[in-house]
């Protein structure tokens, strides 16, 4: 475990603002007084190093620890609920460990910090119906059934994209490539246009983000990807005759009032 140090006044203030808590909210979650939180943030009082662990618990909505009831034949419904809640909480920890291991296994060597962050945001993504299969080897992806598959920096693509996604229902397919653009991001260089045009001609949807996009507005990038993947899945289901109409994002221009 990393050595614990006392959080600075700015650390506490930033935590509270990121968690969208008032000083009274944070004080209540910690079992402290509002004046104590005010003194920490103003630098008038030194917070204990263990406050970092308490803030981590608050960030994850972990309830205060209490001993588990000893269950027996006379166990009440409330006692059982306490044990079940603790069990499910532990599964959540295990799930986080599993996602970390999967990210480490599937990321290729040489991934940039922006690529790593984007992939981490996508590890637990669904296609709107089912979890997305994260693959180590893109060439061995299933070619039958209903599934959405994803791979990080797969082989066989020019200017290897950061992520490739394929929505499939048997022979009906909609693919997506996602680039984290490191080479003069935002510029429509001839090589970029040529590759993007070739991918679109082959039926791919293409998304491109700069490293700054991912590092500063990573949540928005992930939401965009989630939206596009949902569109592709519904298009596939529509073509396969599984839904009556494919969902399309609204045309915001139609909602604008006349000048």
Q: What is the pLDDT of residues 92-109, one digit of tens each?
A: 777 777 777 778 887 766
Q: Which of 48, 60, 68, 66 is nearest to 7 (CA)?
A: 48
So what CATH class is 9-59?
A: mainly alpha
Task: Specify the pLDDT at position 217.
Answer: 85
What value does the mean pLDDT take over residues 6-33?
93
Indicate the pTM of the whole model.
0.69
Higher pLDDT, 250 or 37: 37
What value does the mean pLDDT take over residues 240-250?
71
What value does the mean pLDDT take over residues 55-84?
82
Would you place residue 254 in the very low, low, confident or very high pLDDT band (cuts 50, 70, 90)? very low
Question: What region does 135 belong to: left with phi over 0, alpha with psi -120 to 50, or beta?
Answer: beta
126 DSSP assignment: B
Cite the residue boundaries of each domain of the chain with CATH code 1.10.260.40.
Answer: 9-59
């Amino acid at each position: 475990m990393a050595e614990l140090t006392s959080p600075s006044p700015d650390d506490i203030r930033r935590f509270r603002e990121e968690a969208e808590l008032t000083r009274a909210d944070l004080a209540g979650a910690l079992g402290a007084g509002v004046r104590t939180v005010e003194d920490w943030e103003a630098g008038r009082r030194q917070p204990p190093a263990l406050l970092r662990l308490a803030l981590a618990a608050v960030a994850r909505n972990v309830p205060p620890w209490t001993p588990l009831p000893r269950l027996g034949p006379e166990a009440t419904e409330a006692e059982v609920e306490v044990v079940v809640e603790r069990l499910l909480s532990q599964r959540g920890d295990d799930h986080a460990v599993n996602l970390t291991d999967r990210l480490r296994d599937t990321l290729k060597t040489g991934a940039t910090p922006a690529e790593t962050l984007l992939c981490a945001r996508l590890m637990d993504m669904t296609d709107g119906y089912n979890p997305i299969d994260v693959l180590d080897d893109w060439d061995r992806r299933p070619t039958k059934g209903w599934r959405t598959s994803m791979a990080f920096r797969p082989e066989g693509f020019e200017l290897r994209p950061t992520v490739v996604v394929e929505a499939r229902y048997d022979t009906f397919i909609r693919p997506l490539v996602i680039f984290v653009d490191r080479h003069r991001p935002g510029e429509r260089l001839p090589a970029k246009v040529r590759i993007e045009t070739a991918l679109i001609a082959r039926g791919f949807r293409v998304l491109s983000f700069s490293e700054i996009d991912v590092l500063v507005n990573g949540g928005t990038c992930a939401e965009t990807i989630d939206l596009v993947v949902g569109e592709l899945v519904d298009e596939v289901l529509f073509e396969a005759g599984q839904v009556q109409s494919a969902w399309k994002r609204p045309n915001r221009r139609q909602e604008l009032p006349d000048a």
